[in-house]
Amino acid sequence: MSHDIRNTPVSGPPDGAEPATPPLGAGAAGMERVLRRETRPSRAVVSMIAAVLVSVVCGYALLETGVRAIGQPPWLVDPLTAAERVVALPAGIPPLLLGVTGAVVTMAGLFFFLNAVLPGRRARHLFPDRRAAVVVDDEVIAAALARRARMAANVSPEQVMVVVSRNRVVVNVRPTSGIPLRQDTVLEAVRRELQDMHPVPMPDVQLQVATAGVVGA
C-alpha cells in the first residue's frame, strides 16, 4: 500500500491567463511543423528494415530471373520450378516447418502493419522559450524532478524514482526508516520545479510514499 497525494491545478499564476509564457517555437512559421514532427516518431528505421528486406528478396529474384533470361543454369532454384513447388505447397515440405514459417512471416507482417497504422508519440515535452523551440525528453525532466524531490525529502538518490508520462508525473519515494517524510514539502518542491519548467502539456503531480522504509540509508 502507498499513500496517494494528487495535486489539483498547480498553485501559482492563475490558470487561463498565462501572460508570461512566450509562444512555443518562437521564430518561424515552419517551426510548428517541426515541433509536431519532433514529438512523433518518424518510422525511418522500420522503413529502412522493410526496404532492405524487399531489396534482398528482389535481388535474389533478379539473379535467378537474369540467369534464366540469358539461358544459364540456375544458381539455387529455377524460377519455374520454384513456382511449381509453391503451387504444390502443402506437399513437399514438413507441415511443422511450413506452419512455423507462416507464423514468422505473419508476425513480421503484423509488425510492419502496426508500425504503419498505430499513432505514436515520443516521450517528449515542449518548453516555452523566448527565442527557440525547445523539445525535452521526458527522461531528462524526470531526472531533474528526481533530484529536486530527493533534496526536499533529504534521502539518497536510490530512494527516489520519478516517472514522467505525457499527462502525469509520478514521484515514488521510499523514506528512510525512522525518519518521517514531510510529504507536503516534497510535493511542493516538485510542483514548483515543474512550474518553473512549464512543460507543454502540463502534467499532474502524484506522490507515492512507500510504507516500507529503507534501513540505514
Partner 1 sequence: MNNTPRVLNRILLGIVGIVLLAIGVLLMLLVSVPAVAAWWHGWAGGVLSFWLDLFARTQFPGRQESWLWLVICLVLVVVLGLMVAWVAQQGKGRTNLLVAEEDPGGVPGNVAIGGGVAEQALRAALADRPDLTGVTVAAYAIRGEPALKIRVEPRQGVAPHTLAAEISALVEALDAVIGRRTPVLIRIGSGARSRFGRAERVH
* Cβ atoms of residues 61 and 166 within 8 Å: no
CB of 142 to partner 1, least distance (A): 9
Cell reading at 34: 517541426
Angle CA 44–49–47, to nearest 5 = 30
Choose between 75 and 113: whose C-beta lies nearer to partner 1.
Answer: 113
Q: Find the binding residues for partner 1 in span 177-196 (CB under 8 A).
A: 193, 196
Region of 144-152, 165-173, 175-183, 206-214 interacting with partner 1 (CB under 8 A): 144-152
Among positions 44-73, residues that touch partner 1 (CB under 8 A) are: 44, 46-48, 50-55, 58-59, 61-62, 65-66, 68-69, 71
Q: Which of 74, 78, 127, 154 binds partner 1 (CB under 8 A)?
A: 127
**What is the DSSP track for 24-58?**
TTTT-TTHHHHHHHHTS---HHHHHHHHHHHHHHH
Task: Considering only the stretches 6-14, 141-149, 168-176, 204-212, report the one whose residues sit in contact with partner 1 under the rule CB under 8 A.
Answer: 141-149
Window of 9-17, 138-146, 183-191, 205-213 that interacts with partner 1 by CB under 8 A:
138-146
Q: How far apart are CA 86 and CA 90, in angstroms?
A: 9
Nearest approach, Cβ of residue 178 and partner 1 (Å)? 26
Minimum distance from residue 168 beta carbon to partner 1 (Å): 18
Q: State residue 186 phi and psi, 5-degree precision.
A: -60, -45
The answer to whether 186 and 173 are in contact (CB under 8 A) is: yes
Q: How far apart are CA 62 and CA 54, in angstroms?
A: 12
How many residues in the shown chain lie near partner 1 by CB under 8 A?
82
| Footprint (CB under 8 A) of partner 1, residues 94-113 | 95, 98-99, 101-113
Upstream peptide bond of 201 is cis (omega within 30 degrees of 0) = yes
